[in-house]
Each structure stands twice: as structure tokens, then as C-alpha cells.
Amino acid sequence: MWATEGLATASDSKILNFGQQEGMVVVTLDADFHRLLALSGLTEPSVVRIRIESLRGEALAKLLFSVLQICSDDLLKGAMVSVSENGIRIRRLPVSRN
């Protein structure tokens, strides 16, 4: 049985808490995760937001593999990563409110 079972219907906060407790990176299409991280001042979990909604299966897997190769150091230290057709943006956590 997978530990992530039941998270498909969980609140964004519960998913972030689970990622933090388990040392996992959250991958999402939802902008709310970055907003929650920025407002909370948390340093983990790292969140990768995919801003390319038409990706499926193999194309998404290839994209995530590339993102992990490029961003692994940042993701291990706590980061918000945004992936669009134009590139990858990395913002380290915690997010400064200045």
C-alpha cells in the first residue's frame, strides 16, 4: 500500500505537511502550493509547479527527469520551482517578503 494513498482528495495544506514530514518533493499544476509556501515561511517541502497543462505520460516523465537533473541541489535544500514552456524558475525557501 502506498503512503500517498488518499492524498488525491486532501487539502493543499495536508499535502504540504505530508511532503514536509516524509521529505518528499510535491509536484503540481496548482499555483496555490507556491502561495501557501510563500505565506507560511516554511523551508520545506520543495514544490515543483508544472505550468504546461497539455503534458501527458511519457512527455511529463521526461520533463520531470530534466527538472530533477537541473534543480536537484535546490530541491534538496528547499525551493519553489516553476516550469513553463519558456524555462525553469527557481526560488529558494523561505521566500523573503521584502
Q: What is the pLDDT of residues 9-25, one digit of tens each?
A: 899 999 999 999 999 99
Report the pLDDT value the prediction gives residue 8, as an integer from 0 to 100: 80
The stretch 46-57 carries a mean pLDDT of 93
Q: Please, are residues 32 and 12 in contact by the beta-carbon 8 Å criterion?
A: yes
87 pairs with which residues across the strands? 84
Q: What distance in Å separates the CA atoms of residue 25 and residue 13, rounded to the nearest whole number?
A: 14
Q: Please, are residues 63 and 52 in contact by the beta-carbon 8 Å criterion?
A: yes
The grid coordinates of residue 42 equal 516554511
Report the pLDDT value the prediction gives residue 4, as an integer from 0 to 100: 66
Q: What is the pLDDT of residues 58-89, one digit of tens each?
A: 999 999 999 999 999 999 999 999 999 999 99
